[in-house]
Chain A
Amino acid sequence: MADSDAGKKGTGEVMIGGPFSHQEIGASLLPREGQNLTQIERDKLWRIFQQIGYFWDDLHSSAKDSANLKSTWLEFIEAKTTCEPTYVAEYSNAASVVDELIELYGEKKAFALLFQNNGIPKNPPRPPLTRLEHAKKYVVDEFIRVNVVASGFKSFGGKNYSGYLGGSRYNLKPRVRVE
């Protein structure tokens, strides 16, 4: 399939990635073509989730990583891949996009670029057209929200946050900051 310079259209910035990331695939959710998520892909997705915690330094488990949230994250992935509309093809796509970015830039830089300086047009924003844009919108952005609601918000000062499931209300300890 043809390489595309979609990232350059209408912006001064250049979209990161190589031919695979730049390939245009249309804006709508990628259809599942009968495939299931493999363990290899799941591991690659978990790496994206972990890197979010490292990059924003917001998960204060002893290892300073996302390990404590793995069951929450797995439940999220389960919900996204076993119910319609399924994200299986999006997850597969994101795993391959990240592979290409790591090959091009090395692991640390690849994630920093993906999270921060990805060159995806912002002004004006547009629907996700390329593989890279799909990976950012349907995977990275949603993982960031899971990171924050599942515990990441705590490092910013809160005790509770919209989406945080924090144990029974009847333990008599306030679930929010009180004076």
Chain B
Amino acid sequence: MKQEYEYVIVGSGVAGSTVAKRLLEHNRSASILILEAGPQVEAKIRRFWWDYVVHANGVEHKAYDFTCDQPGESTSSGNTRFLVEGSRVMMYGGSTVHWGGWCLRFKPEDFKLLSNTGDGGDWPISYEDLDPYYYQAEDHLSVCGDIDESWNKLMRKPNTPYPRPPFWWTAPDEEMIKAFKKNNIEPGKMPVARYRKCMTTGTCKYCPLGSRFSGQLVLDELLADRRNLNFKVIGSAPATQVLVDSKKRITGVEYLDLTTGETKQVFGGTVVVCSGTYESPKLLMLSRNQYWDNGIGNDHDLLGRYLVSHSMLKVRGQLDQNKERWFAEYDFPSLMSRTYDTEEYQKKNKIFLFKNRALPDIDLAGLMIAGLSRKEIDKQLTASRQQELQAFMEEKGDKDNRITLANGKNRFGLPKMKAHFDRTPDAQKNGDNWLKLMEKVVADMGYKVIKSEIQDPGGHHSTGTCRMGRNPEEGVTDADLRVFGTDNLYVCSNAVFPSGAAVNPTLTLTALAFRLGDHLAKNRP
């Protein structure tokens, strides 16, 4: 039997589920299929959570890790290693099952990176186009934040608080705040997607309550809602090819049923690729046919190019006492600053500052297990502490930084991948300068700087492999996220971002997904 749907969505992460949610809000009987490469893994299992908390044999620090990229599934070339391992989750619900939940808007200047600096890309839409959708995204993700900070005045309309109040600064934050102020850095409270009944247990990687936003919860709710008569998710079903019957007309998707090994096809009026920054371009590259020699949307050799992610800057300091007995109490940072995340610093690879969430720290139970007495533990606890100032540095898109298909298959039957990334000498120099500034802040806290480094870009925030453009020479998709040269194929992913800004991408992605849902509903054939 021919499987036909109005919409076939490839990927069940926050992008896919948000598009589906919005389409269903417009029309409860819309027929929608989500194909998901990864398995469905149960959440909120008390036993797993306890094993996680007590570091039971083999479970310590692990949650869903088997669905993350494993060593050997991708390679990296270029002067800077691009870290793919552990940077996404391939399962029902996608990477937000594993994410930190930091939710920051891009700033107006982020949409004009090329115009402002001569590097990277401009978006074919502006901040104002996305503004109404940012509010909806904040609501959907349940963002806790503060509106008093000066940068909010540039980005938010008056009297538009976040849906939830912010998390308080912790006592160790205050020490860094004083040093911030000394250096004219404005402190802010980190907006995070903590949800419903968050009890701040500090095990956010595996929440026993489902209190941190996760794509899984949205899918569960959409599936459980009996009004959504024609909504379906198929797991363990990696899409391997987008099907066409002419250059412009997409007819559906071919996928592998991992449970039987069979290749199957589904047909859809509209296909939306929501497979993340790596798999979205890979799927289009794989979709070679008589009309598209190099893959769909790749007539100008743009698929996979302009790969960007944040480079993380870290400056750690040590103090030779901890009489306050501080240790980490949240599993997310509460202190941040966007003082250097402005148009003025865009040319200098602007940065977004925040305090390391895990410091100061001590493994009290570990010391007890090792047999230390109460007195010895108290002595260790009060002897010293470390704090760390961290930052994401904006990297600007370069055409030669790209992902390509590699030989061999990963666990999901999808081709392995190669990432190439060169950091420009300019970015390296700017990074070194930012480190000096950060070292000064740490020194002003009265700490001795013991580590100062620029890390390799982590793939968690990778963007730019199917970027939006004003025309097919500039981008893979247009301003509505439709793949140039097609009538009914869309990409909704961080892949479409022409610039990665200095902050985390998912709030902006969620805003784009709502916008796409509205666009598709409005233009229903």
Interface residues of A (CB under 8 A from B): 29, 52, 55-58, 75-76, 79-80, 82-83, 115-118, 122, 137-138, 140-142, 144-149, 152-153, 156-170, 172, 174-179
Chain B 331-375 near chain A by CB (<8 Å), digits 1 or 0: 100000000000000000000000000000000110011110110
CB neighbours (8 Å) of A140 from chain B are: 369
CB neighbours (8 Å) of B197 from chain A are: 168-170
Interface residues of B (CB under 8 A from A): 45-47, 50, 53-57, 165, 168-171, 174, 194, 197-203, 208, 211, 324-331, 364-365, 368-371, 373-374, 377-378, 381
In Å, the complex CA distance between A115 and B368 comes to 8
A168 touching B171 in the complex, CB below 8 Å, given contacts A80-B50, A148-B368, A161-B329? no
Chain B residue at minimum C-beta to C-beta distance from A58: B374
**For the complex of A and B, 5 pairs with smallest distance between CB atoms:** A157-B325, A162-B202, A176-B329, A83-B47, A160-B329
**CB of A50, distance to nearest CB on chain B (Å):** 15
CB neighbours (8 Å) of B53 from chain A are: 145-146, 149, 162-163
CB neighbours (8 Å) of A141 from chain B are: 54, 369
Other than A83-B47, A152-B364, A179-B171, give 18 A-B pairs with Cβ distance below 8 A.
A83-B45, A115-B368, A115-B371, A117-B371, A141-B369, A142-B54, A144-B368, A144-B369, A149-B53, A156-B325, A157-B324, A163-B53, A163-B203, A164-B202, A169-B198, A174-B168, A176-B171, A177-B329
**CB of A176, distance to nearest CB on chain B (Å):** 4
CB neighbours (8 Å) of B201 from chain A are: 160, 162-166
Q: Could you pull out 30 A-B pairs where Cβ atoms are within 8 angstroms?
A: A79-B47, A80-B47, A117-B371, A138-B57, A141-B54, A142-B55, A142-B56, A144-B365, A145-B54, A148-B368, A149-B54, A157-B324, A157-B327, A159-B329, A160-B201, A160-B202, A160-B329, A162-B201, A162-B203, A164-B202, A165-B199, A165-B201, A165-B208, A166-B200, A169-B200, A169-B211, A175-B199, A177-B171, A177-B326, A179-B174
CB neighbours (8 Å) of B330 from chain A are: 160, 176
CB neighbours (8 Å) of A169 from chain B are: 194, 197-200, 211
Chain B residue at minimum C-beta to C-beta distance from A84: B47
In Å, the complex CA distance between A172 and B369 comes to 35
A146 touches B54 (CB 8 A): yes
CB neighbours (8 Å) of B325 from chain A are: 156-158
The residue that A176 contacts in the complex, of B168, B373, B381, with Cβ under 8 A, is B168
CB neighbours (8 Å) of A166 from chain B are: 199-201
CB neighbours (8 Å) of B170 from chain A are: 176-178
Chain A residue at minimum C-beta to C-beta distance from B45: A83
B57 touches A145 (CB 8 A): no
Chain B residue at minimum C-beta to C-beta distance from A149: B53
B47 touches A156 (CB 8 A): no
A162 touches B328 (CB 8 A): yes
B199 touches A156 (CB 8 A): no
In Å, the complex CA distance between A21 and B55 comes to 24
Most chain B beta-carbon contacts within 10 A, residue among A29, A122, A174: A174
Chain A residue at minimum C-beta to C-beta distance from B325: A157
In Å, the complex CA distance between A57 and B368 comes to 12
**CB of A98, distance to nearest CB on chain B (Å):** 17
B328 touches A156 (CB 8 A): no
Chain B residue at minimum C-beta to C-beta distance from A118: B371
CB neighbours (8 Å) of A161 from chain B are: 202, 327, 329
CB neighbours (8 Å) of B365 from chain A are: 144-145, 147-149, 152
**CB of A4, distance to nearest CB on chain B (Å):** 22
**CB of B134, distance to nearest CB on chain A (Å):** 23
**CB of A132, distance to nearest CB on chain B (Å):** 14
CB neighbours (8 Å) of A164 from chain B are: 201-202
Chain B residue at minimum C-beta to C-beta distance from A122: B370
Chain B residue at minimum C-beta to C-beta distance from A164: B201
CB neighbours (8 Å) of A80 from chain B are: 47, 50
CB neighbours (8 Å) of B369 from chain A are: 140-141, 144-145
Chain B residue at minimum C-beta to C-beta distance from A175: B200
A156 touches B203 (CB 8 A): no
Most chain A beta-carbon contacts within 10 A, residue among B46, B56, B325, B365: B365
**CB of A15, distance to nearest CB on chain B (Å):** 14
In Å, the complex CA distance between A80 and B329 comes to 26
A176 touches B200 (CB 8 A): yes
CB neighbours (8 Å) of A56 from chain B are: 368, 373-374, 377
The residue that A156 contacts in the complex, of B168, B208, B373, B381, with Cβ under 8 A, is B381
In Å, the complex CA distance between A164 and B381 comes to 19
**CB of B67, distance to nearest CB on chain A (Å):** 20
In Å, the complex CA distance between A158 and B326 comes to 7
CB neighbours (8 Å) of B171 from chain A are: 176-179
**CB of A117, distance to nearest CB on chain B (Å):** 7
**CB of A23, distance to nearest CB on chain B (Å):** 20
In Å, the complex CA distance between A163 and B61 comes to 12
**CB of B365, distance to nearest CB on chain A (Å):** 4
**CB of B355, distance to nearest CB on chain A (Å):** 13
CB neighbours (8 Å) of A146 from chain B are: 50, 53-54
CB neighbours (8 Å) of B327 from chain A are: 153, 156-158, 161
CB neighbours (8 Å) of A172 from chain B are: 165
Most chain A beta-carbon contacts within 10 A, residue among B50, B170, B381: B50
**CB of B169, distance to nearest CB on chain A (Å):** 6
**CB of B446, distance to nearest CB on chain A (Å):** 16
**CB of B375, distance to nearest CB on chain A (Å):** 10
The residue that B371 contacts in the complex, of A116, A174, A177, with Cβ under 8 A, is A116
Most chain B beta-carbon contacts within 10 A, residue among A56, A118, A138, A162: A162
**CB of B125, distance to nearest CB on chain A (Å):** 35
Chain B residue at minimum C-beta to C-beta distance from A178: B168
In Å, the complex CA distance between A174 and B330 comes to 11
